Structure 1
Amino acid sequence: MFKRSVSAAALGLLASAAVAAPASAAVYKIATADNGAVYVWNSSSATDYRTLVVKDNKADNASVYGNWSNSRGTGRVLNSSGAGTTAYRDTGAGITALQACVDYNNWPDPCSAWK
Structure 2
Amino acid sequence: MSTVNAAINIAGDGSIEYRSAHAGDITVTRTGSGVYEIHGATGMPASGWRTSVPRGDGGEPLIDVQITEGDPITVATSIDSSPADIPSGRVLSVRFRVPEPEPEPAPEI
- Answer whether TM exceeds 0.5 for this pair: no
TM (norm. structure 1) is 0.36
Return the structure number with greater helix share: 1
TM (norm. structure 2) is 0.37
Instruction: Give the number of the structure whose alpha-carbon radius of gyration is greater.
Output: 1
Q: Which has the higher contact order (CA 8 A, sep 6+)?
A: 2
